[in-house]
Chain A
Amino acid sequence: MKLHWFHLMPWQKLPADFTQRYRSVWVDVPSHLWEPLEGHRLYNEYLDELEYADQMGFDGICVNEHHQNAYGLMPSPNLMAAALARRTSRAALVVMGNSIALYNPPVRIAEEFAMLDVISGGRLVAGFPLGTAQDTCLSYGQVPATLREKYDEGYELIMQAWTRPEPFAFNGRFTQLRYVNLWPRPLQQPHPPIWVPGSGSIETWEWVAQRDHVYCYLSYNGYKRGKALLDGYWETIDRLGIEPNPYRAGFLQLVAVSESDAQAEADYAEHAKYFYTRCLHLFDGFTGPPGYRSIASLKRGFATQLGRKVTEQRQALSWRDFVEQGYVVAGSPATVRDQLRELIRSLRVGHLMLLQQFGSMPKHLAMKNTELFAREVLPSLRDLWPEWEDHWSPRSLPSERRVQPAPLPSGNELAAPLREAIR
């Protein structure tokens, strides 16, 4: 079983009346709420938290891409991964990921992922999301009905760029390049493992299964609601006659560990409330522009987890509701352990992504949550799925072959020979 520590990097200072005063946390979130000094603090603390997760033995640290979004401060997750590549050494760098259709030309992704893979010694997981409607169609102006075709074409281009040994021409419908010749090229050969985050489009299941990638359901609704969707994925795997290896699937879960169940509520309740009400407050018109979801997906009726109605329902939820309904797996280490074992078995996932900083949670609590999980919970989950092999984690360089960031010479050490030479 693989356990990954996931950061969304939320803005922590949305005002208490945010949902009454403004219509959306995403796309047209009011720009005057941004404070540069607060941003400076948050980025640095959030990177500390991810680095701490590496130190505490999580299998991966995860970042993702959102645009014009106050609960996700990473328009470029690659910048975060580059920062993490230097101060971490064990965990996979799981970039969940780059929305292929937004990059012109998409070889930019092949290049940046190759750079990250080389810098980190082959620790990269390359995430290829289609991207939410809010990110792709609203913030980045992509035509909803052709987004998936553009994504497919970009994917083909990236895979060819990573794997073809000679320069080639690419005459696509959305991208035309006379010379594709990737430089640098990834350390992992033929390319880093590819994980595809989804949010409920049934087209994605088959697409992922046929290409032998990992499907990750990044839900904020918790495992009890996520089950129907992952069942659909496993049905697809079964129908295609593919072996149902649990490592083909990942799932995101909010997790909050404390000394006891009661202490968990005292520590984390307000931050869960902040996340589910203010952070997920979204204008309905942004969640599903016509053409973003296929008619087949609409008929299947996986309701979006965002939008006014859902937020209003969540306004009324107490901490007990959040916990009982599985939005947040929270409590003492024993409670969390038992629930996560149930989650992992019922969803059949080999990769669990843990959202351990959520909403307005301050750094000291995020660190506490992380430490308690790593010490008291993580070891007892490792033994799950012993009969299956994970073919989808990075094949990184052994530590003895890694180049580590070297200590820098002090100013005096540099100055001495220089003075010598000048004399």
Chain B
Amino acid sequence: MSAEPIERSEAVRGGMFKVRLFEAGSGRPLLYLHGAEGLLGGWQPFLSQLASRFQVIAPEHPGFGESSGVEQLDDVLDLIVYYLDLLDALGLERPHLIGHDLGGMIAAELAALAGARVGRLVLVAPLGLWIDETPVLDFFVVGRQELVAASWHEPASAPARRVLAPPLAEEEQRLAALQRTQNLAAAARFLWPIPDRGLEKRLHRITPPTLLVWGAEDQVVPMAYAELFEARLPNARLEVVPNCGHHPMLERPEAFVQAVVPFLTA
């Protein structure tokens, strides 16, 4: 297990963006891109485990948490150009990428548009595609209870409780709820009303070796999307985590790490 992460701020494009990022470990750089709800619970156990093998960097997207500048981003292309600027600012030539949910969509777009800047690619229940018969859950609109039920196979388990019911005072809870709203508001810029900005047309460009990780019981981005991604990506393999919902890295961290580390070190 690695040391505690360092939290710091990085200025991108002359300060137009100020990004907060968490960093730990050493080795080959590995960028973790979080989902629409933000960096849930901050630094998580699975990141510590990965940090024993890699230099793990987990930035917050612009508009999320303490990262600013989202109002400069009109569309996915702007977002990808921002991420190329961030890679340059961090001196990352060709990091591995892990992206979950919205972060998976960003990682896939980055790999499609700038494959030479991506080492290996792990997409965890990524957004970005749309199937009429199997719509992605409208997670912006459904109530909290419905979202939790769809996202977690066992909402009462210890890993789930760690994220869903952190021990916070009343005022902290109120601020956390506002923060979550701010995160989703930023996510909606790229996902509302339907999380499809044309990624399907670019999937053939994603040539880095790709591992798809999906919770078998994911009701947010159901398994039909795993099959579609697997069929359309030129160089991908699918790893299904049983008894698991939309957050495999949080709900089944051991299984997640056991799948991801051999792939990244192959």
Q: Which of B70, B182, B188, B189 has the most CB of A within 10 A?
A: B188
Please tell me which one of the listed residues A141, A173, A286 contacts residue B192 in the complex, with CB atoms under 8 A apart. A141
The smallest C-beta distance from A33 to any residue of chain B, in angstroms, reads: 21
The smallest C-beta distance from A105 to any residue of chain B, in angstroms, reads: 17
Please tell me which one of the listed residues B70, B141, B185, B193 contacts residue A286 in the complex, with CB atoms under 8 A apart. B141
Within 8 A of A (CB), among B72-90: 74
The smallest C-beta distance from A303 to any residue of chain B, in angstroms, reads: 14
The smallest C-beta distance from B174 to any residue of chain A, in angstroms, reads: 9
Indicate whether B143 reaches chain A with its CB closer than 8 angstroms: yes
Please tell me which one of the listed residues A141, A145, A285, A299 contacts residue B141 in the complex, with CB atoms under 8 A apart. A285
**Residue contact A285 to B189, C-beta cutoff 8 Å:** no
Q: A145-B186, A285-B141, A285-B142 are in contact. Are A290 and B181 (CB under 8 A)?
A: yes
Within 8 A of A (CB), among B176-198: 178, 181-189, 192-194
**Residue contact A144 to B182, C-beta cutoff 8 Å:** no
**Residue contact B188 to A143, C-beta cutoff 8 Å:** yes
Q: A141-B192, A144-B192, A299-B178 are in contact. Are A290 and B185 (CB under 8 A)?
A: yes
The smallest C-beta distance from B100 to any residue of chain A, in angstroms, reads: 18
Nearest to A145 among chain B residues (CB) is: B185
In the assembled complex, the Cα of A83 lies from the Cα of B187 at a distance in Å of 42
Nearest to A139 among chain B residues (CB) is: B193
In the assembled complex, the Cα of A173 lies from the Cα of B73 at a distance in Å of 11
| A289 contact set on B, CB distance < 8 A | 140-141, 188, 192
Nearest to B147 among chain A residues (CB) is: A285
Please tell me which one of the listed residues B70, B74, B188 contacts residue A290 in the complex, with CB atoms under 8 A apart. B188
The smallest C-beta distance from B7 to any residue of chain A, in angstroms, reads: 22
Q: For the complex, count residues of B whose C-beta is within 8 A of A.
A: 20
Within 8 A of A (CB), among B36-83: 70, 74
| B142 contact set on A, CB distance < 8 A | 285
The A interface, classified by DSSP as helix, strand, loop or mixed, is helix
**Residue contact A291 to B184, C-beta cutoff 8 Å:** yes
In the assembled complex, the Cα of A285 lies from the Cα of B139 at a distance in Å of 10
Nearest to A291 among chain B residues (CB) is: B185
In the assembled complex, the Cα of A289 lies from the Cα of B36 at a distance in Å of 14
| B143 contact set on A, CB distance < 8 A | 284-285
User: Digit string of B124-143 for contact with A (CB within 8 Å is 1, else 0)?
Assistant: 00000000000000101111
**Residue contact A137 to B181, C-beta cutoff 8 Å:** no
Q: A173-B74, A291-B184, A298-B181 are in contact. Are A145 and B140 (CB under 8 A)?
A: no
A-B contact number at CB 8 A: 52
Please tell me which one of the listed residues B138, B140, B181, B189 contacts residue A146 in the complex, with CB atoms under 8 A apart. B189
The smallest C-beta distance from B97 to any residue of chain A, in angstroms, reads: 25
| A299 contact set on B, CB distance < 8 A | 178
The B interface, classified by DSSP as helix, strand, loop or mixed, is helix
The size bracket of the interface on A is 10 to 19
| A145 contact set on B, CB distance < 8 A | 70, 185-186, 188-189
**Residue contact A143 to B178, C-beta cutoff 8 Å:** no
In the assembled complex, the Cα of A27 lies from the Cα of B32 at a distance in Å of 37
| A146 contact set on B, CB distance < 8 A | 189
Please tell me which one of the listed residues B178, B183, B188 contacts residue A144 in the complex, with CB atoms under 8 A apart. B188
The smallest C-beta distance from B167 to any residue of chain A, in angstroms, reads: 24
Nearest to B187 among chain A residues (CB) is: A290
Q: A137-B193, A173-B74 are in contact. Are A291 and B188 (CB under 8 A)?
A: yes
In the assembled complex, the Cα of A27 lies from the Cα of B192 at a distance in Å of 16
Indicate whether A418 reaches chain B with its CB closer than 8 angstroms: no
User: Digit string of A255-293 for contact with B (CB within 8 Å is 1, else 0)?
Assistant: 000000000000000000000000000001110011100
Within 8 A of B (CB), among A145-159: 145-146
| A141 contact set on B, CB distance < 8 A | 192-194
Q: Which of A138, A146, A173, A290 has the most CB of B within 10 A?
A: A290
In the assembled complex, the Cα of A277 lies from the Cα of B186 at a distance in Å of 34
| B178 contact set on A, CB distance < 8 A | 295, 298-299
In the assembled complex, the Cα of A229 lies from the Cα of B74 at a distance in Å of 33
| A285 contact set on B, CB distance < 8 A | 138, 140-143
| B189 contact set on A, CB distance < 8 A | 143, 145-146, 291
In the assembled complex, the Cα of A141 lies from the Cα of B188 at a distance in Å of 11
**Residue contact A143 to B192, C-beta cutoff 8 Å:** yes
In the assembled complex, the Cα of A144 lies from the Cα of B192 at a distance in Å of 8
Nearest to A290 among chain B residues (CB) is: B184
In the assembled complex, the Cα of A146 lies from the Cα of B192 at a distance in Å of 11
Within 8 A of B (CB), among A50-89: none
| B192 contact set on A, CB distance < 8 A | 137, 141, 143-144, 289
Nearest to A140 among chain B residues (CB) is: B193
**Residue contact B182 to A295, C-beta cutoff 8 Å:** yes
Within 8 A of A (CB), among B182-237: 182-189, 192-194
The smallest C-beta distance from B178 to any residue of chain A, in angstroms, reads: 6
**Residue contact A295 to B193, C-beta cutoff 8 Å:** no
In the assembled complex, the Cα of A131 lies from the Cα of B4 at a distance in Å of 47
| A298 contact set on B, CB distance < 8 A | 178, 181
Nearest to B177 among chain A residues (CB) is: A298
In the assembled complex, the Cα of A284 lies from the Cα of B186 at a distance in Å of 20
In the assembled complex, the Cα of A291 lies from the Cα of B185 at a distance in Å of 4
The smallest C-beta distance from A201 to any residue of chain B, in angstroms, reads: 14
| B182 contact set on A, CB distance < 8 A | 290, 295
In the assembled complex, the Cα of A144 lies from the Cα of B140 at a distance in Å of 11
**Residue contact B188 to A295, C-beta cutoff 8 Å:** no
Within 8 A of B (CB), among A290-337: 290-291, 295, 298-299
Nearest to B184 among chain A residues (CB) is: A290
| B183 contact set on A, CB distance < 8 A | 290
| B194 contact set on A, CB distance < 8 A | 141
| B188 contact set on A, CB distance < 8 A | 143-145, 289-291
The smallest C-beta distance from A174 to any residue of chain B, in angstroms, reads: 9
In the assembled complex, the Cα of A89 lies from the Cα of B141 at a distance in Å of 45
Q: List 6 A-B contacts (CB under 8 A).
A: A138-B193, A145-B188, A285-B138, A285-B140, A290-B188, A295-B178
Q: Beyond the given A285-B143, A291-B189, could you list 5 further A-B residue pairs with CB under 8 A, ordered by the A residue number?
A: A144-B185, A144-B192, A285-B141, A289-B141, A290-B184
Q: Name the 6 nearest CB pairs between A and B, nearest first.
A: A291-B185, A290-B184, A285-B141, A290-B185, A141-B193, A145-B185
